[in-house]
Every structure is written in C-alpha cells, then in structure tokens.
A = this chain, B = another copy of it.
Amino acid sequence: MVVILKPKTSNEAIKKITGELEALGVTVNPVIGTEMSILGLVGDTTRIDPSYIEANPNVERVMHVQEPFKKANRLFHPENTVIDVNGHTIGGNKIAVIAGPCSVENKEQIALVADEVKKCGASFLRGGAFKPRTSPYSFQGLKYEGLELLNEAKAKTGLPIVTELMSPYDIETFVEKADIIQVGARNMQNFDLLKELGKINKPILLKRGLSATIEELLMSAEYIMAGGNEQVILCERGIRTFETYTRNTLDLSAVPAIKKLSHLPVVIDPSHSAGKWWMVEPLSKAAIAVGADGLIIEVHNDPQKALCDGQQSIKPDVFAKLMEDLKVIAGAVGREI
C-alpha cells in the first residue's frame, strides 16, 4: 500500500502519521520528495481499510499495490482450480458448455431442450426457476415447480443442473436440487447472500455485476471463499457501457485478466451480453479463442413463444451447428469440448 501525502506536509506530521500506520501492524518506509512525499507500507495490508487512512487530513490518497483478495489470488495458488460436478469438470482442458432455456416453462419444454442440448454435447443444463426481472409485472418463474422439472430433466439426461438462487431462504432447497448454484449479476454484491453461500458445500457460478470491476468480482468470490466454500466459477456476461446497440458490452479481455489474477475458472455468457441471438455464434467462438473455460448459452425450442429473453435464445439446430464449429475453435487453441 502506498500513501501519498499532501504537498507541504511537515516532518512532524509525517512522523505522527507514520506512528499511527505502524500501529496497524505494518512497516512504514517514507520517500520524501520535493513537492510531495509518500509512505510505502510493507506487511499484510489486506485488512487495512484505505478509507481509514484517507480520512487523515495530511493524506492525499492511498493506492493499492497488492490485490485485496487472498483466497482467489493466483499468487498464493498458482495452479488452476478445476471444479468437478459428478465427473463433469469446469476449469480443466475440456471446455464446459452449459445450455438450456432462459426459464423453465413447463415439463415438455425443459425435457425437450435438455434432450436436444445433451445430444449436441452440452455437459450442463441451465434453466431459470426463480427469475430476476426488472418489472414486477413480468413472469417471475415457476419457482419450486421449476426446480422439480429441472430435476426430472436431469434424471433423464444425466446433465447436472445450473440454476439461479435469489433468496437466502431457498439455500437449503438449492443445495438439494441444484448442482451448481448461480448468483445473478444483480446479486453479485448482495453480501449477505454471498456469506451464506460461503457456508455450504456446492459450486457457485458467480456472475459479474453490470458495472462491477474485475477486482470487485474477485472480491465477491473472496466473500464466498472466506466462508469456506472454495468452489467458485466466475462468469463474464457483459458490462454496462454507453453503447446501446448491444444489451451489454461483452468484456472478453476479462478472461485473460482473471486468468492472470486468479486460479478460478471463467465462463462466458454470450446470450445475455449481446441480447441478440445472432451474436451468440461469433461471441461463443471468440470466447473460446480468448481462453474461457466454458460457455453458458440460452437454447429454446421455440424462442418466439419463450416467456423470457426469446430474442437472445438460439434454436436447437443452431446450437447443434454451433457446437460443431466450437470443436474446431477449441482444437485450434489446444482444448476440447
């Protein structure tokens, strides 16, 4: 941590603040400049709150040197984390494809889509039972019935289930009924929910918030990991920018960034990022080329009748063709699907 002092801070004041900082358990190395002076802090600074130091009237600002996350940090865990769900892995050489409808609508729909994506080579089934919607008047999901229908589809296809949790009240049910619990972008900094998820033994798919930095995403993973649950899969799903042509702007550079900073697996959601079904194909290819560990794709048997996000869902035949193309791209970067 580096503390920049205000111009013309007196030696006496520097001495005083040095003492206060050392009381926090770090060593302070002052660098006295002509216009400004800085203090270099050596030691474990992850538990020091920068705003505490910035409140000092002699402090101009505080800059991080080390990343503020530890358990998610590749520095202390150099090898990749590989999550294993009943033999299906995320984070290893094989690219994981999670596919299924935006929301579970009825028994036939989820059974049919599950069957189709399984045939095409998907290794996980996605489907929303509890749906976060901007409008209280939109379809909110089949809820517990949706979870049951997902489990019926799993029973037939063997595909593990990825589905979104919205309330801490449902954690026990999800531990029983889901294989990977998804935390949506809008809940990425619902810290109370993250803490609860830190106490369970179940992989978490944590989506990046609409305007969360990569560091904040990793800090949210750290919340879960600090509680004891180290099975976290990160998901880039587009960030909010000024561009309005796409629903969100997919930040593919987040993949090499996260790979450098952390050992956790990263998957890409090309459906929500663009919000346009015809962009799913090029963005999925790019995601694999850039080094993602998996994809989470919306597939619907009849997008025009979909109860949500039909405009960004692809049909099973498009998905089948896409999976063929993705195998070639995966091969080109030394991986398999």
Name A residues whose Cβ lies closer than 8 Å to a Cβ of B: 2, 4, 7, 29, 31-36, 38, 40, 42-43, 46-47, 49, 51-52, 54-57, 63, 65-66, 68, 75, 132-139, 166-169, 186-187, 189-192, 195, 210-211, 213-216, 219, 222-223, 226-227, 239-246, 249-257, 260, 273-274, 277-279, 282-283, 285-291, 303-313, 325, 328-329, 331-333
Contact = CB atoms under 8 A, between A and B. Distances in A.
B75 A35 contact: yes
B253 A253 contact: no
27 contacts: A2-B63, A33-B40, A33-B42, A33-B43, A46-B135, A49-B138, A49-B139, A51-B306, A52-B307, A54-B311, A134-B219, A211-B211, A213-B243, A241-B242, A243-B254, A246-B253, A249-B251, A250-B252, A252-B252, A252-B286, A256-B282, A257-B279, A282-B289, A282-B290, A286-B286, A286-B290, A328-B332
Copies in the complex: 4
Given A33-B65, A63-B2, A283 B75 contact: no
Closest 7 CB pairs of A and B: A55-B310, A31-B40, A211-B211, A54-B311, A289-B289, A186-B189, A286-B290
Contacts of A239: 241-243, 249
Contacts of A35: 66, 75
Contacts of A166: 190-192
A147 to B, nearest CB: 15
Contact of A34 (B42, B289, B307): B42
Given A65-B4, A190-B186, A213 B285 contact: no
B243 A214 contact: yes
